[in-house]
Structure 1
Amino acid sequence: MDRRSVEDLAPPRPSRVDALLTRLGVVGVPARDAVLAAVVAVLTLVTLALTLDELAALEGIVVQHPSAVVALCTVQAAAIALRRTRPLLALGVVVALQVALVAAAPADFSVRGLAPLVVGYTLGTLMPVRRALAVTGAAAVLEAAAAVAVAPAGSPSLPQLALLGLATAAISYPGAALVGVWTATRRRYLDLVRLRAAEAVRAQHDAARAAVVAERGRMARELHDVAAHHLSGMVVQAAAVERLVDQDPDAARAGAAWIRSQGKETLDNLRQVVGLLREGDDGTAPVPGTADLDGLVTDARTLGDDVVLRRSGPAPQLGPLADAALYRVTQEALANARQHAPGAPVRVGLSTGGTDVVLEVVNDPSPAPPTDDGRNRTGAGLVGMRERATLVGGTLDAGPTPAGGWAVRLTVPQTRSTPPDAVDDEDEDEEGRQ
């Protein structure tokens, strides 16, 4: 389906006749039905004149009261002007005038214009199927019976006349009504198809907008994670440099150089996050995952954090999104521990067993006051971690420990089961300090 708007799909396209009438200034149901009545009257009278000439020339049949026949046909066609505003009245007028035409016509000649067909068709489009067939069927029977009653002398036998009149009336009224029913059904079907197409386009647009909102949220989480990890360390180091400027200039210069390098790394990471949203950009670095946790812990130790990383089990079998979620949750948890519990030991555990991968980041109570007084907290970090867990089908638990610290636990399902013989029970303990 093309990307046309809902407004372009919703309204049906007007027919060429409707467009022409609109350009001519003929608008509204009464005006257009009046035009149709005039057209039917002209066609009926032209056809009648040609037919009467042929009958007079070939069969020698002459209508005794041609002006009456012409008048009846004209008034019958004029009743079409009421076909949509007063359909039952239009039907009654057409049937009555058709009976009068039978009485005014020669015995061997039947006059029937287009008005019965038009009115029968209209009833089929306006009424339910059963009611339309009941009304037009009753009109056909009534017309046939009345035509037999007023038939002129010299007409065919009564059964033949009744059968012929009933067959002709059945074609003119119920037959035309069936065509109208089919047309109305098809029109409703096309309207339904058009409506569903419009709803599908609307749903596509809503999905696209939701995807944009989700992508913006993902970008905000990425920016928050990167900024919280690097900038919090830079703030801590800047405070240390400020204290060492007069006491130890060399150490202060080294700290300033580290801040500069961290600023460059932060800028590179921010560029990487923005690059993730660009399609076809093959120059961006890969998104970090659990394989990069060692570097993350090393960076935290460089900032002076007391961090231990412990892995257990085989390498996790994860998709890129789940792998990145584990890394980002670890990054956010370390940044929170540095900010709210400075100097507290932090233990990072990554265990793989069965069908899940479990990440635990636990910090002890802080021996020093937090670097943030709490006034600037927005809760975006914890909300972002929960959103990441939900996105990859995992669960996240975060809260205080009995000892007064804080624990974050993320459980993520693996993409495929780990073979039993691949399970390694030996723990790799990285407790060295840098």
Structure 2
Amino acid sequence: MKNPGPSPEPPVPTRRRAVLRPRAAAALLRAPAGGAEPLFARAPRAWQRRLPYLVVACFVLSLLPTTIAVLANDYGLDGGWAGALGVAQTVPLLLAVTRPVPAWGTVLVADTAGAVLLAADADRVGGQPWPWTPMVIVGYLVLMLCLGLREPVRVLVGVWLATGAVGVVLGFFAPAGASSTWALLFVLSGVVLALAGALRGLGEAERRIAEQESISEAERSRRTLLEERARIARELHDVVAHHMSVITVQADSAPYRLAGLPDGAREEFEAIAAAARESLAEMRRLLVVLRGDGADGERAPQPGLDRLPQLVEATVRAGQPVELSLAAALSGAGARARVLPQAVDLSAYRIVQEALANVVRHAPGAPTRVSVTEDGAELLVLVVNGPAEGAPAPLEDSGTGHGLVGMRERVRLTGGTLDTGPLPDGGFRVAARLPLTEDAS
């Protein structure tokens, strides 16, 4: 058996915790909850959270001097105007990481002002791209990427239409000889917005899938726990029903076995027998509910430690080497045999049964030792197996997960303790202490 890892109380199956870990893509592309939350703010690693700032800063540092140089050299703009326009068109991109919509508004106004300023002298833009310069297009596409990863679809559509509208209006005032670029920006910005929005939608879909997996895992764990508790309750029904039947028979036969009983005592025994019969009837009705399908189920007596040798023998026949060490006083033979509480006897048998089933499933061929002893106050159950011969499957990853859950529930029922964990050599250990006294819990 492999290490299932620690589990909280109340116990639940220690299955894979996928549920609790969102996928990397979903974490990166998840829509921020707050208005000023940066892009990738919920990424699992620090470098991923800093990545948007680094990328945008690199674009700003490269676009700023390039924009100033192109405006001054190619468009013949005065140095002061070129510097001011370059700063206005590039520096607001830094705001796109946290507030892309205000950054877009600022950049669009600056780009429009730059186009108007260049159009004032037709000679400046003769044969040059207008109204959007190459640096404007690059910076605007970076801004569209940030918008697409942050904002909902209706905002993206509004931004795209506003970009096209401004380009169309400026196109009516295009200087002679200028190379129009408003349609190019309109198409490219639409493509970038669509791709970024699709990535964002993919991240949201993966996040929702992870959340559903988490919910399904929690529901499966809860269902497993309830099914195991119902199974234990059905088994304990037989134990309690046996005692109630004994009480009924003794109460009914007491007036015939004990001569000279006063009438009050006879009436008391009759009341005890009637109450016991009523309790048995109620328990039978409860058992029908616990079975769920109304089936009668098994009617064989519940097993105890006296049947451990047969269990071990069946496991050995299945190809699993198992060694059993059972105290003579617990074997059920001889005059000095220890009489255990039936709930403890049944729980100890089931714990060994579940442990051996886990060994067969997850550590086939591993040598296993089963030891059951008692020290007067507690029953000690120990199941230890060595490492599996091959690569075992993860514990309770493909099965129902009832093994460890059943052990914990049975130990909790008797007020005992359970300790499970891996061994240094790759094996696994299950150790249970079950109190033998009524007040031990």
Per the normalisation by structure 2, the TM-score is: 0.45
Higher relative contact order (CA 8 A, sep 6+): 2
- The TM-score, its normalising length taken from structure 1, stands at 0.46
* Bigger radius of gyration among the two: 1
